[in-house]
Amino acid sequence: MSTMPIEPSSRRQQILAFIRERIAAGQPPSLAEIAEAFGFASRNAAQKHVLALAEAGLIELAPRQKRGIRLPGAKRPDVVALPVLGRVAAGAPIGPDPGQDLEFWLDGRLFAHRPDYLLRVKGDSMIDDGILDGDLVGVRRTPEARDGEVVVARVDGEMTIKRLRREPDRIRLLPRNPAYAPIVVAPGQDFAIEGIYCGLVRRD
């Protein structure tokens, strides 16, 4: 005997609409954010509604993920889930900032190459390339890059995003803001290319 799907309550319809809106914006909400948006006293109340929506087949839950809410059939070849792994300096290099625990679902067609992760830009040394403070830049992991490409590089253990310039006796990392001087990588200095810049996401 077939059963008809259960229509969610008015409050659950509101929560479902909120989840869909947040996913469309690029990031599923956490239970804490649902609780705050709907005035629940705790995440447990939000979890009760989320589990009910999942049981009704209106959403899917990825296990052991803070932002594990998915929409049925939402995974398309052009949609990529990209973690935010920390910050990258558009200025003086800064240390890595892991543990962001953020993930965005984005249209892969936004990027020139398919990125592996996102980094949040801090600083304004790349403004002439349209990379602004606070932007999320997509990065494809690779230890190799061509002369002239924008790269994420590690210099003495700290991360920066700059335009790569290879010269016969040295490497320079060029800013795209005349207020900043190039970073000159000396022979034998701790240096590695972590990846190449694929494009960016700017959130209002």
Catalytic residue among 9, 10, 66, 125: 125
Q: Is the Cα torsion angle 92, 84, 136, 198 positive or negative in sign?
A: positive
Q: Are 70 and 28 in contact (CB under 8 A)?
A: yes
Query: What does the alpha-carbon distance between residue 120 and residue 96 come to, in Å, rounded to a whole number?
Result: 11
**Which residues share a beta bridge with 170?**
167
How far is C-alpha 86 from the geometric centre of its chain's CA atoms? Answer: 9
Whether 162 is a known active-site residue: answer yes
Which residue's structure tokens are 């995974």? Answer: 75
Whether 30 is a known active-site residue: answer no
Catalytic residue among 2, 10, 42, 162: 162
Which residues participate in catalysis according to the annotation? 125, 162
